[in-house]
Amino acid sequence: MKAQFLIPAAMLLMAASAQAVTVTPADIIPRPASVTQTKGEFSLTAVPLTYAVKGDAHGGLKAYMETLPELFTPAAKPSKALIYIAVTGGEGESYTMDVTPRQIKIKAPTAAGAFYGLQSLIQLAGIKDATAIECGKVADEPRFAHRGLLFDVSRHFRSPEFLKKQIDAMALMKLNNLHLHFTDAAGWRMQIDRYPRLTEFAAWRPQAVWQDWVDNGSQYCDESDPRAKGGYYTKEQLRDLVKYAADRHIRIIPEIEIPGHSKEVTTAYPELSCSGKPYVDEDLCIGKEATFDFLEDVLTEVMDVFPSEYIHIGGDEASKAGWRNCKDCQARMKAEGLKDVDELQSYAIERVEKFVNSKGRSIIGWDEILEGGLAPNATVMSWRGTEGGIKALKSGHDVIMTPGEFCYIDYTQDAPFREPISIGGYTPLSKVYSYEPLEPGLTDDDARHLMGLQANLWSEYVPSDEHAEYMYYPRAYAIAEIGWATPEKNYDDFHRRALMLNDRLTSEGYHAFDLANEYGQRRESLTEVDHAARGAKVTYTIPYSDKYKARMDSTLVDGVRGGWTYGSDNRWQGFAGDFDATVDLGSVRQLHSAGISFMHAPGAWVHLPQFVEFEVSDNGRDFKTVETVWTDLDPVYGKILMKNYVVTPAPGTQGRYVRIKAKGHDRPGAWLFADEIIVN
Ligand code: ACM
Ligand code: ZN
């Protein structure tokens, strides 16, 4: 892991022959709260830089700097040290950095603050070709307490070495919470002594790649099976990881998913499910006491390994289906006076919370834990937008914001035709960076409960380590900056700094996205299109979905075409099934062409229609078919694309009404997403 810090030193050695670059503390991510330039510069050519540390009671800073011998070396005479670090006592995570030609002085009340000051220096020194730092004074501190990244190690297992490498990168950008999504149907990843089948069986599958596993029936296998792919972390590995992170002022928050996303548990231990059978229930049975014995045992072992104040208990997307027909769940509801399955879920979460609280810890849950009543001391992670988070804030709960639109970095970050297959969406760096957690309408009181934000990399479509890094960087930089820096934003300046940090991480062996060659938004969506149907009245024979109505009846004829996603631009209109709509052009006219676009995003169940039929009419009653256009794309094609279906009627064709019918895809639950009907 130390390899990443070999590079700055190597670059410094090369610097004599390369161009000389003087960097400034305003070049880093996250942007410091205040930078005041003074005269002169501090030379970086004397590497390793001599240092002295004062007030570092636990020796953590010194121990950390000793891991970077290419960059730092203890000063023989502390009074002559080039880098002087002082921990002065007090609270908080602020630091100051005073850069003069002779010395860089970092001062902070706590070791954490000094560590952050040190990271500012390390980032500066590692900027490509940097030979000197402009003199100045930096005063800096974090805006939010929680600046996190989620690692989904269930869908695809990642090694401890991979996680350590990411911890190094996180430290460099002052991210301080690593959320480990340990358990999900795709595999259980933490050694639990009392339930060995979780790791002897439920951590292994015959297919390495999640999609292959799903396509082959989502079966587990024994660890001893020659086909076994996957893995788990031993407690020893996890303790080592916890320490590695803590040495870098990063907390690891373990997540054990309950009661949903638990098929690996109900298959390894069917007695914890409603049906009592393997491979049936997504959810744990809330009626059976054995479930709570299991949860308490597991959480006891989890808390034994993880010192984190917070234990994430999931809570999202429970299907609750089995509970309705399970005699144990029904008996529980009756005995506890619970009126529906939402309250049954809350019963489970509250009971687990009580247990976790009794051990001096707190729970975090996804925003579904609001349904049926929120556990009294729970912190909410708001992912389905920010609505749940705001509701929780208003009721005095702590909240971490991670709204899908901005913080789900399993979405594609560039034009889908140039990107690997993803779950869908389009969340480029600029979109992540535009997120502001403190929304209008939140009071100072609410703000005190707003702990911060986090990006989540769900990894169904992210099989390899390289691919995961590609998804994290540079988007993690935006999370780091929003979480740390003051809220003023200048995307151009952030982009400039992101390119530098990207260069650095790339040169250190991280597989970051090539930000310098970003393609960007769908070109057609950037300019308006004028046409005969623009502003026309549209009559829907099949209504659009309430959930994806975009700009209602004007969407398809407003002259603006959709971008790479239906999720956020309000330009693509969604239909659950088929499409059938008629445009009224106002009067009979010559028709030269008619067209409509549909989207293909199979990771999100969005498919092209099987065919699109165009009809015309003079009176709105008697239609004649112009032409049917068939889809010529293999339905298993995995990437996102947009297809234009266009017909050119025979010369002389006239009409006032253009009707477009599209047959949806056969896949159960498939959606159609349509945009601009263009008629000329
Ligand atoms: C989630 O994305 N299901 C939290
Ligand atoms: Zn049950």
**pLDDT per residue as tens digits for the range 437-493:** 999 999 999 999 999 999 999 999 999 999 999 999 999 999 999 999 999 999 999
Residue 10 pLDDT level (bands cut at 50, 70, 90): very low
Residues with a catalytic annotation lie at 184, 261, 317
- Give yes or no for residue 383 CB within 6 A of ligand 1: yes
Check pocket membership of 627 for ligand 1, CB cut-off 6 A.
Answer: no
Residue ID of nearest Cα to ligand 1 atom 2: 383
Tell me: pLDDT of 8 over 80: no
The answer, yes or no, to whether any atom of ligand 1 lies below 6 A from the CB of 366, is yes
CATH of domain 9-140: 3.30.379.10
Residue-range domain boundaries for the chain: 9-140, 146-514, 523-679
Structure confidence at residue 81 (pLDDT):
98
Evaluate: CB of 51 within 6 angstroms of ligand 1: no
Atom of ligand 1 nearest to the CA of 383: 4
70 close to ligand 1 (CB < 6 Angstrom): no
Element (H, E) at 74: strand 72-74
For domain 523-679, the CATH superfamily is: Galactose-binding domain-like (2.60.120.260)
Q: Under DSSP, is residue 252 helix (H, G, I), strand (E, B) or coil?
A: strand
CA 388 to centroid of ligand 1, rounded, Å: 13
Report which secondary-structure segment, H or E, holds 349: helix 341-358
Using the predicted structure, report yes or no on whether residue 17 has a pLDDT greater than 60. Answer: no
Q: How confident is the model at residue 18 (pLDDT cuts 50, 70, 90)?
A: low
Q: Does the C-beta of 317 come closer than 6 Å to ligand 1?
A: yes
Average pLDDT over residues 425-438: 97
pLDDT at 6 over 50: no
* pLDDT for the residue 2: 41
Whether pLDDT at 16 is above 70:
no
pLDDT interval class at 14 (50, 70, 90): very low
What pLDDT digit, counting tens, does each position of 120-142 carry?
999 999 999 999 999 999 999 99
pLDDT digits (tens, 9 = 90+) for 583-601: 999 999 999 999 999 999 9
pTM: 0.93
Fold (topology level) of 146-514: TIM Barrel (3.20.20)
**Per-residue model confidence (pLDDT) at position 20:** 86
Question: Do the beta carbons of residue 120 and residue 97 sit within 8 Å?
Answer: yes
Please report, rounded to a whole number, the percentage of residues in the chain having pLDDT higher than 70: 97
Which of 441, 416, 436 minimizes the C-alpha distance to 426? 416
Per-residue pLDDT reduced to its tens digit, 372-428? 999 999 999 999 999 999 999 999 999 999 999 999 999 999 999 999 999 888 999
State which ligand 1 atom lies nearest to the alpha carbon of 317: 3
Angstrom CA distances, 57 to 80, 86, 89, stand at: 22, 11, 10
| Mean pLDDT computed over 634-642 | 87
CA of 52 to the centre of ligand 1 (A): 46
Residue 337 Cα to ligand 2 middle (Å): 16
* Structure confidence at residue 52 as a pLDDT band (50, 70, 90): very high
d(CA 79, CA 63): 20
Say yes or no to pLDDT of 288 above 90: yes
| H helix intervals, 151-252 | 160-172, 197-200, 210-215, 235-246
- Ligand 1 centroid distance, CA of 389 (Å): 14
Q: Which amino acid is at 510?
A: Y
Distance CA 224, CA 391 (A): 48
CA distance 57 to 93: 16
- SS3 of the chain: helix, strand, coil, percent, to 5: 30, 25, 45
Q: Which atom of ligand 1 lies closest to the CA of 408?
A: 2
- The domains spanning 9-140 and 146-514 adopt the same CATH topology: no
Reduce the DSSP state of residue 445 to 3 states and report it: helix
